[in-house]
């Protein structure tokens, strides 16, 4: 059965110390300024966070790391700040993982060492202005012209795509049409600075103010034919697998948020007094915190079961179907539990919870995206139902 090893728990302490030392003192100001701390990324690289699922030949942890360790790191960073947590989650799951899984030796050697070291970041361009959950409606096109691909189109809400250290963005694009009329979807790597590749101004978001998020446009953008990731027409399958892994990572991110809301609520209920006693002495408060503790524990079990299944699958002991179902269940429950946890925490804090000087306000703003990104809650319910054998 799955459980976190002593090595995992020791690693948790290392990441928590890093987060509380390097992130916590600055995060309120970074959030206020909408500042992406690019200088923090190499420090995360030095800690090995970007290489937890990467072989040693590319600078990764090799056998000393696994997917569960990555989830531990994302949880601990997300406990301090969600934007920093998603920077790691997207940097590995959407940036490194597609290149590691589907790239050629030349592509891996070109991009992975810098990405693993935190000297660079990479993004993954799937979502478009008119194609989110319906990724088959992708309109971005790539036309083969001799030894090049010519890319035209637009992507939306792309994480880690416009930082000073972003080196490449992998995008899905139509490269043809099948006999049944369905589009041929392929994945193509587009290095930063390529003529015709424009990073649009950063979004003015409800939350995740520290995270780097941009729209991207491509106009007569020429890249070498060798930038195709995997085979032509394999992009749809590639991003589906990428999203499966990403859903477990988002579950870990949500778990970090829920855990922090539990801790903040307990501390505030112990110290805040009303009518001559701590507010935690009132059942109206204590029962909410008790329920919050239950949801955190459930989210933890679902998250790390899914991560364990992912590692078991990598070792050839579990099926893809097992991982997909566990990923959707964990992502659905943990994201909704985290959003509820922020609402409970703000309510317990009362008027103070509405003030930006208290972390619960920032987490409240950050929470909602967890129910949207990497597949909405509605999509997760659809996938879970299909796995149960219900009609599509």
Q: Which residues are catalytic?
A: 374
CA dist 292 to 251, 341, 350, Å? 16, 6, 17
Nearest to residue 91, comparing CAs of 104, 81, 100, 79? 100
8 Å CB contact between 304 and 352: no
Burial of residue 288 (number of CB atoms within 10 Å: 0-12, 13-18, 19+): middle
Phi and psi at 209, nearest 5°, equal: -65, -25
Query: How far is the C-alpha of 119 from the C-alpha of 116, rounded, in Å?
Result: 8
Phi and psi at 288, nearest 5°, equal: -65, -40
Query: How far is the C-alpha of 94 from the C-alpha of 371, rounded, in Å?
Result: 18
Tokens of 312: 């078991």
Nearest to residue 360, comparing CAs of 283, 287, 266? 266
Helix (H) or strand (E) run with residue 174 in it: strand 166-177
At residue 20, the 3 state secondary structure works out as helix
């Amino acid at each position: 059965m799955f459980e976190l090893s002593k090595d995992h728990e020791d690693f948790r302490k290392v990441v928590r110390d890093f987060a509380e030392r390097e992130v916590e003192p600055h995060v309120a100001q970074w959030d206020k300024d909408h500042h992406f701390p690019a200088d923090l990324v190499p420090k995360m690289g030095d800690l090995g966070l970007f290489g937890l699922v990467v072989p040693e030949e590319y600078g990764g942890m090799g056998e000393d790391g696994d997917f569960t360790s990555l989830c531990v790191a994302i949880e601990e960073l997300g406990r301090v700040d969600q934007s920093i947590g998603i920077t790691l989650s997207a940097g590995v799951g959407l940036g490194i993982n597609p290149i590691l899984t589907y790239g050629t030796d030349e592509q891996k050697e070109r991009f992975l060492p810098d990405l693993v070291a935190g000297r660079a970041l990479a993004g993954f361009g799937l979502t478009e202005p008119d194609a989110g959950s319906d990724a088959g409606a992708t309109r971005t096109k790539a036309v083969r012209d001799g030894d090049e691909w010519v890319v035209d189109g637009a992507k939306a809400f792309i994480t880690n795509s416009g930082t000073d250290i972003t080196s490449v963005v992998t995008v899905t694009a139509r490269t043809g049409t099948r006999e049944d009329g369905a589009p041929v979807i392929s994945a193509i790597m587009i290095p930063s600075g390529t003529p015709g590749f424009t990073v649009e101004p950063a979004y003015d978001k409800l939350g995740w103010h520290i995270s780097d998020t941009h729209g991207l446009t491509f106009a007569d953008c020429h890249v070498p034919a060798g930038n195709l990731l995997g085979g032509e027409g394999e992009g749809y399958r590639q991003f589906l697998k990428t999203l499966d892994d990403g859903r477990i990572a988002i579950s870990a991110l949500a778990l970090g948020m829920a855990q922090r809301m539990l801790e903040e609520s307990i501390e505030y209920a112990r110290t805040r007094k009303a009518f001559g006693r701590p507010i935690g002495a009132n059942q109206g408060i204590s029962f909410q915190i008790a329920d919050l503790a239950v949801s955190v524990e459930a989210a933890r079990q679902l998250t790390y079961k899914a991560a364990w299944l992912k590692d078991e699958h990598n070792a050839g002991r579990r099926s893809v179907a097992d991982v997909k179902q566990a990923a959707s269940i964990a992502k659905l429950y943990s994201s909704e539990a985290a959003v509820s946890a922020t609402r409970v925490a703000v309510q317990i804090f009362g008027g103070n919870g509405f003030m930006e000087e208290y972390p619960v306000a920032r987490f409240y703003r950050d929470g909602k995206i967890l129910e949207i990104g990497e597949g909405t809650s509605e999509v997760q319910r659809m996938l879970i139902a299909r796995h149960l054998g219900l009609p599509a």
